[in-house]
Amino acid sequence: MPIRRALAACLAVALVTGPATAQGPSDPGESLEPMEAPPPHGIPGYPRGWPQPAAGPSASGEAEVVLTFDDGPDPDTTPIVLDILRERGLHAVFFQVGWRFRRGDLARAHAIEQRLVREGHIVGNHTVNHAKLCSVPIELGKLEVTMARGLLEQASAMPVPWFRTPYGSRCPRVEHLLGDLGLRHFHWDVDPQEWRGLGAKATAAKVIRSLHRLQGRGVLLMHDTKFATRYALPLILDWIAAENARRIKKGRPGIRIISGAQLAREQLAPTLGWLADAVNRGRRGVDAALVATVP
């Protein structure tokens, strides 16, 4: 089918070069999570959100938090977030955009990626160009997802089975696309919306309010591309530590921070041999924390 092949080739070129609009990733300083109304779906009764709790119920029955960071890796801010997590012995899931491994300082982007995997974090797929998957043609949407996975797996030397749709878009087109690709959207429960320009203190306050009343498991969405995140994260983690001390004094369980590897063991091990494959093939960059998750 030469026409289809030609169309696919055009789409691939458009995808790799990125959109020509000001909102595209040609400006890495531009917010990649612009203010946007939920995608229109026009189907009465069609669910607008995704099921919650996003990562299932708490395995321990107690309050659990999963840290997730979107839109990186950013050469200026991601290393600072990694420093904070390393100091506190925490591990997160980073949903990344593939364009960061196509343009800009590629050596630095790859160095950050290798550090991220080496330090026990997990990489997730967030499309190549932070695509609006409810708006772009479905074939382009598929390329956004599959090409991003290829770029991220190459950069991290790890399988990238988790996917998060930009903007949390949900519509029939996205559901068909994910179904065709055998993927599932990894949603969140707490979104302080620091990407709207909220300051660090206000961001931390919003998260803390949610965590204070958290029961069961909550997935926290933040952006390692934002300086507000860099300043808010220590405030949030300090509050969790202080709150846990208060709870333990009263004989109550504290808030546990679940690592990406723990979640992978819980959610992926029964159905995917991806970690075992990675270890068996001796792929570089496989962290001891991830190796430990292989059943």
Residue 64 touches Zn ion, criterion: CB under 5 A: no
- The site map against Zn ion for 160-179 (x = CB under 5 A) is ------x-------------
Nearer to Zn ion, 33 or 74 (CB): 33
Q: Give the residue numbers marked as catalytic.
A: 70, 223
Q: Minimum CB separation from Zn ion for residue 268, in Å?
A: 22
Query: At 154, which amino acid appears?
Result: Q
Tokens 């994910």 belong to residue:
178
Interaction residues for Zn ion, span 238-267 (CB under 5 A): none
Nearer to Zn ion, 164 or 217 (CB): 164
How far is it, in rounded angstroms, from Cα 126 to Cα 133? 11
CB neighbour list of residue 240: distance below 8 Å, 6 or more residues apart: 65, 211, 254, 255, 257
How far is it, in rounded angstroms, from Cα 183 to Cα 163? 7
Q: Which of 140, 204, 200 shows the shortest CA–CA distance to 174?
A: 140
**Among 53, 55, 58, 70, which residue interacts with Zn ion (rule: CB under 5 A)?**
70
**Among 25, 33, 54, 161, which residue interacts with Zn ion (rule: CB under 5 A)?**
33
Residue 71 touches Zn ion, criterion: CB under 5 A: yes
278 CB burial (10 A radius; 0-12, 13-18, 19+): buried
Nearer to Zn ion, 70 or 194 (CB): 70
Tell me the site size for Zn ion, rule CB under 5 A: 4
β-bridge mates for residue 65, sequence order: 218, 257
Q: Minimum CB separation from Zn ion for residue 127, in Å?
A: 9
Nearer to Zn ion, 131 or 140 (CB): 131
Tokens 């599959």 belong to residue:
146
**Which one of 71-79, 180-188, 226-234, 253-261 is the stretch in contact with Zn ion (CB under 5 A)?**
71-79
Q: Minimum CB separation from Zn ion for residue 96, in Å?
A: 9
Number of helical H runs and strand E runs in the chain: 10, 5
Nearer to Zn ion, 53 or 166 (CB): 166
Query: At 174, which amino acid appears?
Result: V
How far is it, in rounded angstroms, from Cα 71 to Cα 77? 11
Query: At 80, which amino acid appears?
Result: I
Q: Minimum CB separation from Zn ion for residue 225, in Å?
A: 9
Nearer to Zn ion, 139 or 191 (CB): 191
Task: Tell me: cis bond preceding 53? Omega within 30 of 0 counts.
Answer: yes
**Which one of 22-30, 65-73, 100-108, 257-265 is the stretch in contact with Zn ion (CB under 5 A)?**
65-73
Q: Which of 93, 123, 92 shows the shortest CA–CA distance to 110?
A: 123
Residue 144 touches Zn ion, criterion: CB under 5 A: no
Answer for the pair 72, 225: CB distance below 8 angstroms, yes or no.
Answer: yes
- For the chain, report the end-to-end CA distance as a whole number of angstroms: 44
Q: Minimum CB separation from Zn ion for residue 193, in Å?
A: 12
Q: Minimum CB separation from Zn ion for residue 70, in Å?
A: 4
Residue nearest to Zn ion (CB): 70
Q: Which residues contact Zn ion (rule: CB under 5 A)?
A: 33, 70-71, 166
